[in-house]
Amino acid sequence: MATHQLGRSSFGDPKNAGNLMSIEEATVLLNDWVPNERLRLHMKQVAAVMKGWAIEKEGADDISAQKWELAGLLHDADWEKYPDDHCRIIIEELERRNIDPEVIHCIASHGPGYFGVEPLNTMDKMIYAIDELSGFIHAAALIRPTLYEGLEIKSILKKLKTPSFAAQVNREDIMDALSRVDVPLENLIAFIIEHQKEIK
């Protein structure tokens, strides 16, 4: 997917550090840009897991947690309308809105194999680790009559070893992402289930 390569590694303007949009404003953008409800839910789930991780695992303050949440909420915002230019369009929109470069870099690095941007800080590395796994876990919940209720970590592990299940989810990306953070797969699965199960 060479077309997705962003061809640069610097995003936004350092003078915009700390300049965030509100979650309400980001939700308006999301509703406007993403008609597909399931895709919107994916971004809301990743946002909830990112925010939870920032606060609980990284001791983030409100501003920092909002950066994690915003990156999660907007990381695929251009995917539905601009699949061939995915990531570039939302990045340019956030640059136009003078958003904090860390948020933009985080979005730009959420798939290094596709966008050609390496995750640098913990926020970058965690969105890479959380994104695909969050979608995979949601797919696993959707095929169960009770959805998230009773969904076990071992069932997710088993499905990850079943190539035909959610075949579009790249297992190598998940393992590559995990190798960059010091988090066991089981722990991340448990954290994701806990933080996204109530998101609607």
List contacts with Fe ion (CB under 5 A): 76, 131
CA atoms within 13 A on the CB side of 8: 9
The CB-of-46 to Fe ion minimum distance in angstroms stands at 6
Read off the tokens for 160.
């990850």
* Residue 8 phi, psi (nearest 5): -155, 165
> Minimum Å distance from CB 14 to Fe ion?
26
CB of 97 to Fe ion, least distance (A): 21
Question: Between residues 20 and 73, which has the closer beta carbon with respect to Fe ion?
Answer: 73
Do you know the residue count of the chain? 200
**CB 43 to Fe ion: min, Å:** 7
**Residue 33: which region, alpha, beta or left (left: phi > 0; alpha: psi -120 to 50)?**
alpha
Is the CB of 19 or the CB of 27 nearer to Fe ion?
27
44 C-beta neighbours (distance < 10 Å), count:
18
d(CA 21, CA 81): 22
- Residue 181: CB minimum distance to Fe ion, A: 17
Q: How many Cβ atoms sit within 10 Å of the Cβ of residue 198?
A: 9
C-beta closer to Fe ion: residue 16 or 128: 128
Are the CB atoms for 104 and 11 separated by under 8 Å? Answer: yes
Give Cα separations from 135 to 79, 101, 132, 148 (angstroms): 14, 26, 5, 13
Q: Which is nearer to Fe ion, 102 or 131 (CB)?
A: 131
Task: Tell me whether residue 76 or residue 124 sits nearer to Fe ion (CB atom).
Answer: 76
